[in-house]
Amino acid sequence: MANPSASTFDRLFDPKTVAVFGSVKRDKIGHQLISQLSSGGFRGSILAVNPKGESPEGYPEIPGFPDLEHTPSAPDLALIAVPAQFAEQVIESCGETGVPFAVVFTSGFSEIGNTEEEERLKNAAERYGVRLIGPNCAGIMDTAAALYASIEVRAVPGKTAFITQSGAVGGAVLALAKISGIGFSKFVSYGNRVDIGEVELLDYLDSDPHTEVIALYLESLQNGRAFMQAVRRVSRRKPVVIIKAGRSASGLRAASSHTGSLAGSDEIFAAMIRQSGALRVPGIEEMLDLCHGLTSLPRIAGNRLAVVTNSGGPGILTSDRAEELGLQVRESPEKLREQLAGFLPGNCAFANPIDLTVEGTREGYRRTLEAVLEAEYDGAIVINVATPFLDSAALARGIVEAAASQKHPKPVAAVFMAGEIVKQGIETLRRGGIPAFPTGERAAFVLSKMYEYFSSAGRTDSSEPGLTAGIEGAHLPFATDAPVPEPDAVAFLELEGFSFPAHRCISAAQQIPEAFRALGFPLVMKVVSPRILHKSDVGGVLLDLRDERQIQEAFADMARRFADRDFRAVMLYRQVTEGLEIIAGIKQDPAFGPVVLAGAGGVLTELLRDSAVRIAPFRREEAGDMLAGLKIDRMLAGYRGAAALDREALVELLVSLSRLAVRYPAIRELDFNPVFVQEEGIKIGDVRIIL
Amino acid sequence: MANPSASTFDRLFDPKTVAVFGSVKRDKIGHQLISQLSSGGFRGSILAVNPKGESPEGYPEIPGFPDLEHTPSAPDLALIAVPAQFAEQVIESCGETGVPFAVVFTSGFSEIGNTEEEERLKNAAERYGVRLIGPNCAGIMDTAAALYASIEVRAVPGKTAFITQSGAVGGAVLALAKISGIGFSKFVSYGNRVDIGEVELLDYLDSDPHTEVIALYLESLQNGRAFMQAVRRVSRRKPVVIIKAGRSASGLRAASSHTGSLAGSDEIFAAMIRQSGALRVPGIEEMLDLCHGLTSLPRIAGNRLAVVTNSGGPGILTSDRAEELGLQVRESPEKLREQLAGFLPGNCAFANPIDLTVEGTREGYRRTLEAVLEAEYDGAIVINVATPFLDSAALARGIVEAAASQKHPKPVAAVFMAGEIVKQGIETLRRGGIPAFPTGERAAFVLSKMYEYFSSAGRTDSSEPGLTAGIEGAHLPFATDAPVPEPDAVAFLELEGFSFPAHRCISAAQQIPEAFRALGFPLVMKVVSPRILHKSDVGGVLLDLRDERQIQEAFADMARRFADRDFRAVMLYRQVTEGLEIIAGIKQDPAFGPVVLAGAGGVLTELLRDSAVRIAPFRREEAGDMLAGLKIDRMLAGYRGAAALDREALVELLVSLSRLAVRYPAIRELDFNPVFVQEEGIKIGDVRIIL
């Protein structure tokens, strides 16, 4: 009845004894599991548990038992494929006999609305301390342990661990990977995730010696913040590659109904990816390509790419894609050209792409690659387009030799096009440890993502857990069951360090002379009333007040007009007339909690649709990155000869907002609209808080 | 010595006799060609022509001749693989004996800077009326004629004709296609293109009964305008799928040096694609996928897509990509849901994606697809994610049955994932005429491009040749060897129907009173001098002049300040203060000739980087489409409560500019900057013409 922590999933992935619960007649899932375990070469013992205590059809050597009480010893792992209504009972018996782990393949739970039975399953597991994968999942694999406890295609050994919410996507990935000879260390399909999910698995895989890269297919998250923290921790040492389904409206609809949980906004998910240092890919082909590159190539130190080819066209297509993806395909430096001219024929192109022409030889490839990797380039894509009359294997040998001779290895990705005629060449590359991709475009994608990973390695500290220490969960100084009056909101935010234009709260006419003297003009007057939310719409905002008489009249007028709408006071502000208008604020995301938004304000809001979001809290660096993603960042820098604006002050504001958001979780929404960014400093034009 | 026109390439692709020039020793290109022709099952006669008159090694049945004079009759097609310095001579002998077509494989011409030898080759062909493909090419194939006159992988028969500038890309495409069982009608690698190029081939293929789709790989164009016209003609009947390499800076650099010709701006190429109704794809995988879809699927009438799957995850990824590409994955209508609920188990998802779950059967697929295709959807993607224990072939049969039973066929694309375990299923689909794609994302791309093709079929008339009738090549009413003085430019453009603010040209002070009375105020004054190009920079523009004295003083001041810079006069304009600022103009593109540009003006120019370009001339429809692609189009429509602006007048202006551009080819550049678009009408604020 041990309750193993995340760090001890060892018996889950490397069990001595596995018990298969459920019918073991041919075509039943139980039988398929037996068949997979057995043909996968599992080294431990397999037991079958079913009411009649039958051995599986065709496997007389595997003993059958009617229940766990009759087995010689408690298994480490139960694979459960009984009908949904019996699953709870099986978990109870596992708990009673001390089985620490169970994988529940059975479907028919929350994915079809049967949350009640799922809840019972979950409670039973908790009660007995049995740790669960599933239900409604496709199982697990551990290639090092030769454990194939899954109904999907058996993975070949490799260095990528693949965790998937969808069993079918898992199956498709494994089958596609097999075609390309891409292997896995572990595979986990966790289905409805009543217990063990992506967070614990990430932490476990972080220290798994067989795993160098972790890939995930996600539709929804268990706990967005915990996931983000886990990815941030892990991705410093091992790349985390993520497919998040549900980017579009219909995809999101399907993801939500499919997993029965909230998939959340894709924009905020994208922020999580940036802030945690994960790598996002759109689909499974890209995921496999990237894992292939990450597990077989050395670190890429910069984004300068050399393209070496024996054919112009594919070299150009590769350059096109590489530059679109942020890599640089710079012209060869003079020294390199001279070097190349020393051994390549004169009809070759030396500029980069470097084109050896169809007459490129093993020696040509080897010497060119060696020269290129010694030059300023950070990595290379080598392309060989074959005809039926070309010996691809020889060219592959040249490439392998060049890569092997590097003192400080740089990544070399190969593209051998295409089909039967390059099979020998690709096999030679594989044996030499050089990954081969079907097209140069796909290789360029891989190197661009690797560059993203290695260049952001330092950046992921920017919102580390330490940031939140001591600031979480404070109480707001006002009632949380009513709209926050503007004077209270402004007073509170000033104490928190936010900067408003000079102002006074005026509840009686005799306060006006002092206020006018203190504030100067022009002034803005805004009505204060708990019953008026949209002040402008009802004439509750007056601009450009320039003398005392005007102000007295305006005050009297507002007091009269809003007498029957709980008129309390007016706020008088010194009017801000200068600066770029920005919108900044806080929102609560259902998956990731408090987030901070910033974007173009004023007339540009709708025109530019220019906004950025980050999960709070974060440091200055992240706030700067957030602004760098906005179109209006050009205006902050001093646009068309205008003076530069105080971008640093805006960065400070965003960082402060991010801390405020975490400190006061009761703030459901907060808007500064607009914030005026001036040449020196910023001024908040208006604030709205919703609790 | 016939000089066949484009319509008689029949003997090129279906020759009775083929002569191979060049060494026919093993490993030589001549020998490879013999081997390809022979194993490809060529039904005509093959001759070898080489100095010793040798038969090819291993092919004693193929006669060898020392020259054409000794052959029994003149061949229809010469395949030339002799060294570059002998190519001219071979062409001459072809010409003298009446060989109508030659394909020159030999390299070492302009692609390595040897333009002189290439010029001699070209001249010889012209002199003798021999039509040439190449040099520096990979040859041609015609699968219907069993002609494999190429060194590349032999294509299987199919309905796509593939024309490629790069032989290697051609080879890669053919090899990749073979893996997926995709076939071709014809293949042409035209290399350096001294004679027959993409334009003539397009016209020929337009009426080729074996060809339904034409695919091109291009790096540069022979004649942009002629190509555009050809694509426009052909694409009304047959889709034209284009890869244009050289989108990026480095790609463009490589494309230009590789082909020795100007590749041209990618933005204008993109305009050509839009205006001609072609389909652009980024790379060869996308090209093959799309040709596969276009040659095997019926027309798609709209963009409403149904996704039918046996697994949630891949269905979601497919929806995501489909919506990103402009397809709609709408929720199933109530009626369809009821229908589905009548025969599918309750745990299936009916919303779209429609998820049959892993228990989906042949009957389930068949009935679901039938119901979906009868509902409001315009096409469907059907996904089957297999496990090793699922009979994919049965599901494939269900899909084939449903597609076959349609009275009004809609496209059904299949995705069977993945590997060995779905091979049977994919074979069943192939026999049933249903294309299978490796992922749903790729199938979504294909359907989105098919929708682009079929929905734009009407649009491509918008700039038909008739538009230019009678307007081309007029002479400008001023000297073309000096900058055009502003008064002359304005007078000329007013005659052409363009509308400027009220104005006077003032060369003497006594003209001012009348001008002031006629124009009203405020006024703008601009210096007129052939020596001043940038008037604002030297204080040659004065704004907001409001009385006669001010104007007199300003005139005197300008006359004095610019006395030594050939002061001629000033222009006085009524100042325009209202309206949205737009930039519009004409430029000459080296590949496509006159083009029209439009974009955001004033302070938004740099911020939005918002511009569009179209090849002139064009109709209102195209101008409207051009504006629709601009961000500021939202402002034209009446932005944030402002009144709508006169978009129609701007459309007229662009159409007029496009006609002007064609009428006066001597205009190298013309800028209206800004044009003020007002609630009624537009006003041109400034004009500059460069001849």
Question: Is some CB atom of chain B closer than 8 A to the CB atom of A137?
Answer: no
Chain B closest CA to A285's CA: distance in Å? 8
Question: Is some CB atom of chain A closer than 8 A to the CB atom of B153?
Answer: yes
Residue B535 to residues A570, B569, B688, Cα–Cα distance (Å): 52, 13, 11
Question: Is some CB atom of chain A closer than 8 A to the CB atom of B387?
Answer: yes
Q: Round to whole Å and give the CA distance between B574 and B564.
A: 28
Chain B closest CA to A548's CA: distance in Å? 33
Which tokens hold the place of A302? 């910069």
Chain B residues within an 8 Å CB radius of A387: 32, 138, 151-153, 171
Q: Round to whole Å and give the CA distance between B678 and B690.
A: 27
Q: HEC string of B643-656?
A: CCCCHHHHHHHHHH
Q: CA B356 from chain center: how many Å?
A: 40
CB-based contact B393:B428 (threshold 8 Å): yes
Q: At what angle do helices A284-296 and A440-455 cross, to 10 degrees?
A: 60
Q: CA nearest B322 in A: which residue?
A: A248
Residue A687 to residues A491, A495, A660, B466, B525, Cα–Cα distance (Å): 11, 15, 14, 60, 46
DSSP string, B187-213: EEE-TT-SSS-HHHHHHHHHT-TT-SE
Q: CA nearest B351 in A: which residue?
A: A254
Torsion angles phi and psi, residue B539, rounded to 5: 75, 25
For an interface test with B, the pick among A28, A176, A250, A417 (most B C-beta atoms closer than 10 Å) comes out as: A250
Q: Provide the 3-class DSSP secondary structure of residue B499.
A: coil
What pLDDT was estimated at residue B179? 87
pLDDT mean over B532-542: 87
Question: Is some CB atom of chain A closer than 8 A to the CB atom of B330?
Answer: yes
CB-based contact A420:B152 (threshold 8 Å): no
What pLDDT was estimated at residue B462? 47
pLDDT mean over B395-399: 97
Question: Is some CB atom of chain B closer than 8 A to the CB atom of A246?
Answer: yes
- CB within 8 Å: B176 and A358: no
What does DSSP say about strands B669-677 and B682-684: parallel, antiparallel, or unpaired?
Answer: antiparallel
E strand segments, B323-365:
354-355
pLDDT mean over A301-306: 97
CB-based contact B580:B540 (threshold 8 Å): no
Q: Over 80: is that where the pLDDT of B582 sits?
A: yes
* Of B107, B112, B178, Cβ closest to residue A419: B178
Q: CA nearest A284 in B: which residue?
A: B439
**Residue-averaged pLDDT of chain B:** 91
Confidence of residue B643 (pLDDT cuts 50, 70, 90): confident
Chain B residues within an 8 Å CB radius of A439: 283-285
pLDDT tens-digit readout, A579-607: 999 999 999 988 899 999 999 988 788 77
Chain B residues within an 8 Å CB radius of A258: 312-313, 316, 349, 355
Question: Which is more confident, B589 or A627?
Answer: A627
Q: Over 80: is that where the pLDDT of A639 sits?
A: no
pLDDT mean over B90-104: 97
Chain A residues within an 8 Å CB radius of B608: 607-608, 631
Torsion angles phi and psi, residue B641, rounded to 5: 85, -10
What pLDDT was estimated at residue B684? 94
- CB within 8 Å: A248 and B319: yes
Which tokens hold the place of A637? 């820098």
Question: Is some CB atom of chain B closer than 8 A to the CB atom of A417?
Answer: yes
- CB within 8 Å: A258 and B316: yes
Q: Over 50: is that where the pLDDT of A408 sits?
A: yes
Q: Over 80: is that where the pLDDT of A170 sits?
A: yes
The complex's ipTM?
0.89
Neighbours of A236 (CB within 10 A): 16
pLDDT mean over A91-108: 96
Torsion angles phi and psi, residue A155, rounded to 5: -75, 150
* Of A171, A247, A349, Cβ closest to residue B320: A247
Chain A, 199 to 238: residues with Cβ < 8 Å from chain B are 217, 219
Side-chain-side CA neighbours of B575 within 13 Å: the count stands at 13
What pLDDT was estimated at residue A458? 55
Confidence of residue B264 (pLDDT cuts 50, 70, 90): low
Confidence of residue B249 (pLDDT cuts 50, 70, 90): confident
Question: Which is more confident, B4 or B107?
Answer: B107
Cross-sheet strand order for the sheet of A131-133: A64-65, A45-49, A17-21, A77-80, A101-104, A131-133
Question: Is some CB atom of chain B closer than 8 A to the CB atom of A175?
Answer: yes
What pLDDT was estimated at residue A446? 98
* Of B111, B249, B323, Cβ closest to residue A250: B323
What pLDDT was estimated at residue B1? 33
pLDDT tens-digit readout, A464-518: 555 565 566 678 877 767 778 899 999 999 999 998 999 999 999 999 999 999 9
- CB within 8 Å: A282 and B321: yes
pLDDT mean over A27-35: 94
What pLDDT was estimated at residue A257? 61
pLDDT mean over B547-569: 94
Chain A closest CA to B665's CA: distance in Å? 33
For an interface test with A, the pick among B250, B384, B640 (most A C-beta atoms closer than 10 Å) comes out as: B250
Which tokens hold the place of A82? 């009984």
Neighbours of A45 (CB within 10 A): 17
Question: Which is more confident, A411 or A222?
Answer: A411
- CB within 8 Å: B254 and A324: no
* Triad B466, B470, B476: Cα angle to 5°: 135
Q: Provide the 3-class DSSP secondary structure of residue A345.
A: coil
What pLDDT was estimated at residue A1? 33
Question: Is some CB atom of chain A closer than 8 A to the CB atom of B392?
Answer: no
Chain A residues within an 8 Å CB radius of B395: none
pLDDT tens-digit readout, B31-55: 999 999 999 999 999 999 999 999 9
pTM above 0.95, yes or no: no
Q: Which amino acid is at B584?
A: A
- The residue among A347, A344, A373, A349 whose CA lies nearest residue A361 is A344
